[in-house]
A and B are shown apart, each in its own frame.
Chain A
Amino acid sequence: SAVISQKPSRDICQRGTSLTIQCQVDSQVTMMFWYRQQPGQSLTLIATANQGSEATYESGFVIDKFPISRPNLTFSTLTVSNMSPEDSSIYLCSVEMAGGSNEQFFGPGTRLTVL
């Protein structure tokens, strides 16, 4: 298993600003993902964070809006840029351990409110 921490746990931001969310894992993992979850909704994958290379973005998400870094196997950041109220959501990072199982471990999430 993996223990994942996220910072900040919540934030209230003004439109037009940017927020960087950090995800730290207690062990080296191969796969790290960033999801967005609107209240009462399912999880929408933003991107796969690739170590040492550019993230792989899903349809509807672009690097300019959601730049992602992954400098090593235990850490990643997601930046929500030039925020608008529509970006208000919960952002979750998750990891998948090596070994064949697709089981994902999720961080506690970052609740973002944009005014």
Chain B
Amino acid sequence: AQSVAQPEDQVNVAEGNPLTVKCTYSVSGNPYLFWYVQYPNRGLQFLLKYITGDNLVKGSYGFEAEFNKSQTSFHLKKPSALVSDSALYFCAVRAKALTSGTYKYIFGTGTRLKVLA
């Protein structure tokens, strides 16, 4: 089955330290990969995406993510965390639905990032 996994429910990091939020996927074909962030009582905001090309993609708020085809991973990273980065982060993949042939988006269960002052 096509799926997205975010193995950590929560990640704690001290302010100023680098952060990594992990994501792995299992889909057929070449996936489009996305990261979204959800602040408390807010909708999801798009951070960045990978479609093709350079494996390192840069996005909003200083975030970046590295696509690793051999490891089927798309980890989110930031060199220096801010307290304001504390939020819920979702990884998503666009994959072709095996039955209908249309595209569908599969989201991970989310990782809560807590940046400590």
Partners in one complex: no
On B, residues with C-beta under 8 Å from A are none
